[in-house]
Each structure stands twice: as C-alpha cells, then as structure tokens.
Structure 1
Amino acid sequence: MGRSLPHSDDAERCLLGSLLLNPPAISECIEKFASKDPKTRGGEYFYNENHGLIYRTLVDMQDEHEPVDLMTVTQKLAGRNQLERVGGAVAITQLSNAVPTAGNLEFYLNIVRQRYRLRQLIEAGTQIVTESYGTLDEGVDDFVDHVERLVFDIAQEKSAHGVVSGADVVKEAVHEIDDILQHKGKLRGISTGFTELDKCLDGLQRGSMIVIAARPSMGKTSLAMNIAEHVAILNSENPMPVGVFSLEMPAVQLIIRMLCSVGEVSMNRIRRGLSTDVEYKSLINSAKKISNAKILIDDTGDLTIMELRAKARRMKANHDIQLLVVDYLQLMRAPMRGNYDNRQQEIAAISGGLKALAKELKIPVMVLSQLNREAEKREGGRPRLSDLRESGAIEQDADVVALIAPKDDRKDEEVVAEEITQAVLIIAKNRNGPQGKIPLQFRRDITRFFSAAIEESDVAMTPREETM
C-alpha cells in the first residue's frame, strides 16, 4: 500500500527522555502498557525497534532495583552488547536532551499507546480479510466469534496471562489474603441478598459460573431474578449493572414479575384486576426503582453460545455489567449442530462456553438449568448433581451448583399448587467453600424468595468434597 503504519517517533523519543529524567514513572508505563509478551515487556508498543529495546532495558533495570540515569542505562546496554545497535551513547544522550522536563510524560505515553492500538487494529483487519477468503460456510459462526473477540481484546487492552509461574502470582495472592484478614466478615464477592447463601459462597465471585437448577415451576427464575434485583436495585449502597438473557420469557413478562417482586404485590391480583390503591402505588414505586437501575434484558430466543457471548461482550464493554444471568441453559444451542453426535455433547459445548465467558469478562455468570425426573423416583425425592439434565459437563464446568427443592418430600404438582412453599437451597457443589442446605420460603404470588427460619441442622455446612 506504500503507507507507513501509525506511529510517532517524536512521542517515543520524548517518552523515553522523560523516563530517563523521572525513573519512578517507569511503573506507570508498565501499568499502561499491558504487554502480551513477557519477553518484550511492553517494548512492542514502540514502532521504532531501537526505542522498544531501550524501554525494555529500563523495565529490566527497575525490576532489578538498579539506578536509572544516562550513565547506568548506557552501561547496561553496553554490557548486553546492544549499545551500538540503538545508535551508541550519543543516541541515549539525545533522548535525555529531547525534553526539558518529565511533566508531559503522560501526554507522550498516551500518544505511543494509541498509535500502537491503531497498528493492532490494522493488523487485525488485515488478518480478518485474509482469513475471510479461506473460511468455509460451515465455519462462519466460529470465525465471527473469533473476529469479535479479536477486536474486543484490543478495545479492552487485555493483558495476556497465559501460562504464568507461581512466583509471578504470589504477590497478588498474598495481597488478597492480607485484604481478607484486614476486612474480616466483609464479602469478597457480590452479595446475593440472602445472608446464609452469602456466608456459604462469600458472595458471587468474579469469573465463576454459578448454576441454579430445579424442576420446572420450582422457582429457579424467581431466585435468579431476586438476586439480580438485589444487585442492581435493592443494594442501595452499591448498585451494579446486571445483564439478563431470557430465552424463555419475553422481557415485558419478566419486568412484570420484577415489579411484583420488588413491590411485594400479588401477581395473581394484578392479573385479575383486583389491586388496591396501596398496591398500585407500590407498583409505581417499584417501576421507578427498576427504571433507575441498570438491568439490561435480551429476550432473543434460540440463541447460540457464540451469539450470547458476542452480546455479553457488548454489554460489558458498553455498560460494565457486574453480573450476567442466563435463563436457561437447555434453551440454548451450539453453532454447527451437525458437529455433535448427541445433545449431551452440544450441552457440554454450551456449558464450556459459558464458563469461558465468565473468565473472559471477569464477572459471575449465573446459569439456570433444568433437572431431570430421577429425583422423583428416588427415596426422599431430593435432587443430586447427577440430576442435571442432559450433560455431566455442567457439573464439571460450574464453580457452584445450587439445587432448589421443597423442604419435604412431596411431588412437584403438590408444591406448585401452594402460594407459599417451604423450600431448601442445596449447595451441592462449591469449588472454593463449604456445601450445605439453606432454608428459604418461596412466595409464589409475588415470585419472591425470603430467608426462612434457620434450624441448626440447616446451617451446618459440610466441608467441600474435592471436585474437578
């Protein structure tokens, strides 16, 4: 094409000169230059390879606690047999004289970073064009997901973690432990609004996949939306944006349930036109709360995991959602269904995709799932992990699996007929904490769960079993 890639030699020189004048600012550059290659250490942000080599030397010197100035940098490069490559001692002196003060360092840094991002976009665009010609029809969905992830990564300036040594993570782990010890009793994750559940899970953790499973009409959607309502609305001290994918229920119907839940107004009375003035005012107040909250609902049906991940990335990029709810897993489909021998393999692909999404966006992803009828055939009727419908992969991928069941041993149809159900939330899997049984009360008329009276046997959390 004959055109040079976006860059600014002047900004690169002035940035390096500023770092020579103000070595502590190297830390700021390390933070802003999210290097994807531990060998280059951020040097790839510089278009001029010599500038990148000098920057990498500065970073190495700081890591080794060596003093950084004109003389020491020159000696360091000479000791590595790289001084002549970058233009000799004269070149280093010229960098030092390029700026009279380090006061404009941030200005130069932003120019260098933005030009690097433009080069990334050009490289990605070239790659997309080239690969588009070689993509077969059946691979288009996968390719589109790859393209969106490519651009999303550039937009987020994500660090490439990949394989890291334990030593690299020790400082972060110790810092997290110190934080826990200094804030005893404070949740590390996002509060669910249910005290005993928060105690068990320590809140909803970033990057985790939480599965809430139950038989149809047992309240799994209600419980998930109650948690979403708490995160986005009822937690007035720190409300957070929430994304919801409702594959089964239209958005309007979901909002009506939320209005009744937040306002504690009977949905049956509303449907029959029997609401009082007090109940109507409560609905209006609920409507104001929901309108002011950031709850983003996508009610597209028959979504593929690729489509959902693409939409979720945009929700995160545009609205910074802190929790994602998917209702429910078995209504999703994998792209290119012909590639799977059976439904179990397809569900496994969807489950794995949701877990990967949680890690990618660094937010908890709450996934609803159906249970099969095996529990009804079992003595006592209590559900187990093995009752997750259509795939054992859900159990493997999930960090937490919570099963909703009636507190007694009655059949589904008996429980569904009740307006108030004494229920139990069985924490059947908790990768990083205890298992246990949490008593809840489900008011079906307002689609809302409440914490029930706690019995000693209910809150005796069992040590977690080792799960993969």
Structure 2
Amino acid sequence: MTEIATLRPALPLAPATTAAAAPAAEAEVLPHNIEAEQQLLGAILTNNDVYDRISSLVKAEHFFDPVHQRIFQKAAARILKNALASPVTLKPFFEEDEGLRELGGPAYLVRLAGAAISAFAARDYAQMIYDLAVRRELIALGRDIAAKAAKVDVANEPKEQITEAEQKLYKLGEQGVAERGFQSFLKAVTDAVNVANAAYQRGGGLAGISTGLVDLDKKLGGLHESDLLILAGRPSMGKTSLATNIAFNVAKAYRRGRKPDGSEGAVEGGAVGFFSLEMSAEQLAARILSEASEVPSEQIRRGDMTEGEFRRFVEAAKALENCPLYIDDTPALPISQVAARARRLKRTQGLDLLVIDYLQLLKGSSKGSEQNRVQEVSEITQGLKAIAKELNIPVIALSQLSRQVESREDKRPQLSDLRESGSIEQDADVVMFVYRDEYYKEREKPGDHELEKMAAWQATMEQVHGKAEVIIGKQRHGPIGSVELSFEGRFTRFGNLAKPWQGGGGDVGV
C-alpha cells in the first residue's frame, strides 16, 4: 500500500522525517500521513484547548514519526498539569533530542505552530492519524499471524494461535494498539492521577464500582479495575448468593454517561458478565428474582406462591428485564474460552464486572495440565488475572475451601484453607471468605431434655441469627479485617447490617 494522499502539501522547510530512518520499502508499505500529524501538533501548540477535544482518540503511540510521538507526549504532560505547551516551553525538553536535531532542532516546533491552519479541523486530523495507526497495526498483526501459522510446531497448536490472534485483535479494536510493550513512567503517573481524580470527583471515597454493600465498600474502596477478587467459602455459606447479590446491585445501578477521561461508559454501576458453571441461567435468574421480589426461592421453584407473591415476582421480572446482566451457563469451560467470550461481550454489549462461579469448575487450556491439578489451577488463576488486566475490569472468582475447616474448633476460614491455595493466594489482589456462624451453631442443637444447654444455645442463636461475616484475608491495596452483613436465607439476600447506634436495631436490605 502506498502512502495515503495528504490533505495539503508538507510544511515548508520540513526536512525528511525520522521515520525515513526505517527501510525505504517499509515506509512505502505502511500507511501514514506526516502532514496530518504536523497539522495536529501545530494546532495543539497554538491552542492547548485542542488537546481536550482529541485526547480520548489519539495517544502518542498512534503517531508514525517517533519525534512526533515525543512532542505529543511532552505537550500532553504539560497540558495535564495545567501548564502551557508551546514551542517556547517545550524547547528545553528537546535541546538534546537527536531526532529533532535532524529536523532542524527546536526551530521545528516553531514551524509546526506557525504552519497550523485551523484548530477547527483538529478532530478530523486526529481521526485520520488514529485510523492509519490501526491500519499499520493490522498489517503488522496479519504478518505475525501468517508467520506463526506457516511455522509448523508441535508445541504451537492452531487453537492457541487463534486465541492469541483474537486477543491481539481485541486490544487493537479497543485501544488502537495490539502490543503495549514498555510505557514511560510519565504515562503511568498520569494514569494514576486520573484514577485518583475519578475517586475524588465521586466524593464517596470509592475508587472502584460499588458492591451495594456499604461496609464492604468501605473496606475495599469498591471493586477496582484490573483486580482479581477471590470469594471463597465452604458449601452452604452463601458464596453464590453474595456474588449474585453484588452482580445484581452493580447491574441495577448501571448508568451510562461521559467518564472523567472523556470516553463514554458506565459512570455508576456497570454491565456484568456472569459465568455460572454450576447452576443454569434459569436457576440463577430465579435467585435474583427471589431477592428482588422477596418471595422465597424454594417457593418459586415449586410454584407454591400466593396471588400477591406471584404478582410481585412478575413485576420484579418486568422491572429487571433491561438490566445489563449477561449469564453464560456453559459447563466445564476452558480458561481460554472464558477470555474469548468476555472479550466478545465487552466489544458487543460492554463489560464492567466479570463473575465466575466457580473457579474449580474451569478447565486449563493445555493438555499437560490434566495430569497436574495444582498446575491447572495455577494456569486458571493466572488466566483470570490476565483477563482483569486486559479488559481493565474487576473479576470476582468463587472458590471452594478444603474440608480441614470442619475439623477445627474455630471454623472461620483462613488463606491456607484455599484448595490448591498457592497460586490462588498469589495471583489474587483480594481474597475474601464468607462465613456464617449460624450454619454451624444450628447443627450443635442440644437435646430437648438438656434444659440449661438448650437455653445457652438459644441465646447464642439469637446473637448469630441473620448475620454473616465477610473475612478479608488478603488485600493488596488496603487493610484486611472482617465485615458484618445481614443474611436472609429465605431470599438468599445479603444486606447492610444496621448498627445499634443507628437506631431501629434491624437489618437494612440492599
């Protein structure tokens, strides 16, 4: 492909660009438009407000000329600090720049600003630069795929190549670059400031998505992008119920708008993907409707409802039919398929939170992992963390606990109780355990003839009834500790526990 025709002649006095340092044949093949890059940079250096209009579309890596990349990066850094970016203020940063020296030194910055026609067309130039960058990436990606496919290797299976290609294509579609590689500390610092600013603007002290459970939000600071959260517990503790409640709360609060970085997306709540490997989509929906309509789930299953309860059930279903909660109940999915389906969902419907119920029901992708379960779980947890980072969303994965919990007197779970715990504990950013003392105390009921023991048991049951604990055993970015929640078993619903000093003394539902 030859170079794209430009909108106007090249800038006067502009010598050959440093891109010419690449082989001539390569420069001919790869589509680019140096004049559009010059026009956009000139518009920014003349009027810094232009940057706000194009910053969500174009990044430094989209420029073809490496010198233009550096000029854009330095200008953006100054503008984000509310400092002026002009040929004069940028000059000190480029005194020793070899690439700029080939173009005439800092005087090139002056020529850029002087030859800029109008800020009005800046968005069009930005779109052109972005489109050409994507075309270059597509060409490079196509060559890479072809080269790998041509190399016949036993270890490099076609299925794995397809998954890898799909992953790179997804990144390209979302971010305009297929391979990120190293990035400057300046960019990393800017991103960190933007995250902190978003949390500050939100005002509630949450840097992430709210779970709908106030005390849990305070401890976690919400669900953070690119975090892997493990939610573990013994059977009947309420793992699935808590995960379903959080997923429902996030989807119910969904509101779309303009985010602080200028892009469109969820400003409250979010779209949720739920991989239910244990229960069917219909069973999971029934649980959510039980919580929303306050009709016990066993009555829904049996169809044993009064007219009023059935009306509430139907009204709840109507109210929630547009909820952005997407359920995939395919059993025994390999981790590569989970990644592929999550990417597809984000591309087509949007995705802000992913829930997997549960981790031990996933399969590894490689054949060798079948013989070694610990190795397979390690591959799965690494894969889940990679999904969280790649899609920039929180991932909640449920996990079973080993039976050794039951043999202890204090049955509160701890990190060592995680099955195949090494990799799970290592890869997770947050590890939480669901614990309900009521479940164990119910099973310690003394005989009716033991009056004293019965009285003591009833007093204990009153204290623990309708309460649950979420024990945070690990948190990479915050404190560990315990959070008390209310639990209504009939509706499989967790809620905020009202404190005695808040008055009322009852449980507050979500």
Q: Give the TM-score category using the shorter length.
A: 0.7 to 0.9
CA distance, structure 1, for counterparts of residue 84 and residue 214 of structure 2: 51
- Residues 411 and 144 from structure 1, CA distance in 2 versus in 1: closer, same or farther, beyond 3 angstroms? farther
Q: Secondary structure at the match of 1:139?
A: coil
Does residue 101 of the first structure (1) align with residue 118 of the second (2)? yes
Task: Give the letter aligned to residue 277 of structure 2.
Answer: L
3-state SS of 1:131 partner: helix
- 8 Å CA contact 1:190–1:203 kept in 2: the answer is yes
Contact 1:74–1:83 (8 Å) recurs in 2: no
Separation in structure 2 between the aligned mates of residue 177 and residue 91 of structure 1, nearest angstrom: 36
Displacement of 1:151 after TM fit?
Answer: 0.9
Query: For residues 406 and 62 of structure 1, what CA distance do their matches in structure 2 show?
Result: 52
1:431 equivalent in alignment to 2:461: no
1:315 to 335, 345, 358: 345
Report what 1:395 is aligned to: 425
The one-letter code of the counterpart of 1:229 is: F
CA distance in 1, matches of 2:432, 2:106: 65
* In the alignment, structure 1 residue 365 sits paired with structure 2 residue 419: no
Aligned residue number for residue 440 of structure 1: 485
Letter in 1 for 2:173: A
CA contact (8 A) 1:348 1:391 kept: no
Higher normalized contact order (CA 8 Å, seq sep 6+, divided by chain length): 1
Q: Which moved more, 1:404-413 or 1:116-125?
A: 404-413
Task: Work out whether residues 388 and 394 of structure 2, in 8 Å CA contact, stay in contact via their aligned partners in 1.
Answer: yes
1:345-424 to 2 correspondences below 5 Å? 345-408=375-438, 410=440, 422-424=467-469
Change over 3 Å in CA distance of 1:34–1:269 after alignment to 2: same
Match of 2:67 in 1: 53
The Cα of 1:371 is off from its aligned counterpart by 0.8
AA aligned to 2:271 is P
- 3-state secondary structure, aligned to 1:292: coil
Equivalence map 1:184-263=2 (5 Å): 185-233=204-252, 238-263=268-293
CA distance in 1, matches of 2:442, 2:154: 45
Displacement of 1:392 in angstroms is 2.0
Change (3 A) 1:27 1:162: farther
**Partner amino acid for 1:130?**
A
Q: Matched residue of 2:120: which SS?
A: coil
Identity %: 37
Structure 1 residue 191: Cα displacement: 1.7
Shift of the 372–63 alpha-carbon distance from structure 1 to 2, 3 Å rule, reads closer
* Structure 2 CA distance for aligned equivalents of residues 240 and 411 of structure 1: 38
Identify the match of residue 175 of structure 2 among 137, 147, 157.
157
Q: Per the alignment, do residues 435 and 82 of structure 1 end up closer, same or farther by CA in structure 2, a change over 3 Å counting?
A: closer
Structure 2 counterpart of 1:127 = 144
In 2, Cα distance between the equivalents of 1:443 and 1:319? 32
Q: How far apart are residue 256 of structure 1 and its match?
A: 1.6
Task: Give the number of equivalent residue pairs.
Answer: 441
1:433 deviation in Å? 2.4
Change (3 A) 1:272 1:200: same
- Is the Cα contact below 8 Å between 2:226 and 2:390 reproduced in 1? yes
| 1:34 aligned partner | 59
Contact 1:58–1:73 at 8 Å: present in 2 too?
Answer: no
Structure 1 residue 450 corresponds to structure 2 residue 495: yes
The aligned residue for residue 506 of structure 2 is none
1:144 lines up with 2:162 in the alignment: yes
Q: Match of 1:460?
A: none
Gaps of 5+ in 1: 36-41, 457-468
Which of 335-344 and 387-396 deviates more?
A: 335-344
Q: Map Cα deviations across residues 122-171 of structure 1 (whole Å, 9 max, x no partner).
A: 21112111111225455334322321121111112267776567676556
Deviation at 1:247, TM superposition (A): 1.1
Which stretch shifts more, 248-257 or 26-35? Answer: 26-35
Q: 1:86 to 1:288 in 2, by over 3 A?
A: same
Aligned to 1:466: none
Distance 1:88 1:214 in 2: 64
- Cα separation, 1, equivalents of 2:328 and 2:367: 23
Question: Which blocks of at least 5 consecutive residues in structure 2 are unaligned?
Answer: 3-27, 256-266, 446-460, 502-510
In structure 2, C-alpha distance between the alignment counterparts of 1:72 and 1:189, rounded to whole Å:
36
Distance 1:272 1:105, change over 3 A: closer
Conservation of the 8 A alpha-carbon contact between 1:355 and 1:398: yes
CA RMSD of aligned residues (A): 3.9
Cα shift at 1:242: 0.7
Whole-angstrom distance in 2 between the partners of 1:72 and 1:380: 65
How far did residue 353 of structure 1 move?
A: 1.2
> Could you tell me how far apart the structure 2 residues matched to 1:55 and 1:381 are?
58
Is the Cα contact below 8 Å between 1:441 and 1:451 reproduced in 2?
yes
Contact 1:16 1:55 in 2 (8 A): no
Amino acid of the structure 2 residue aligned with 1:285: E
Partner of 2:505: none
Task: Give the whole-Å Cα distance in 1 for the aligned partners of 2:109 and 2:405.
Answer: 74
Is residue 2:359 matched to residue 1:329? Answer: yes
Secondary structure at 1:377 match in 2: coil
- Give the CA deviation at 1:213: 1.0
Q: Which letter maps to 1:402?
A: M
Q: Indicate the SS of the match to 2:148.
A: helix
Q: Distance in 2 between matches of 1:11 and 1:182?
A: 35
Q: From 344, 366, 373, give the equivalent of 2:374.
A: 344
Matched, 1:118 2:163: no
Say whether residues 1:269 and 2:299 are aligned partners: yes
TM-score, with length taken from structure 1: 0.80
Greater mean alpha carbon deviation, residues 264-273 or residues 236-245:
236-245
Q: Are 1:327 and 1:368, in contact at CA under 8 Å, matched by a contact in 2?
A: yes
Which residue in the other structure is 1:463 paired with?
none
State the distance in 2 between where 1:315 and 1:328 align. Answer: 19
Residue aligning to 1:6: 31
CA contact (8 A) 1:54 1:86 kept: no
Measure the CA separation in 2 of the matches of 1:435 and 1:92: 52
Aligned partners of 1:95, 1:165: CA distance in 2, in Å? Answer: 24
Quote the offset at 1:241 in angstroms.
0.9
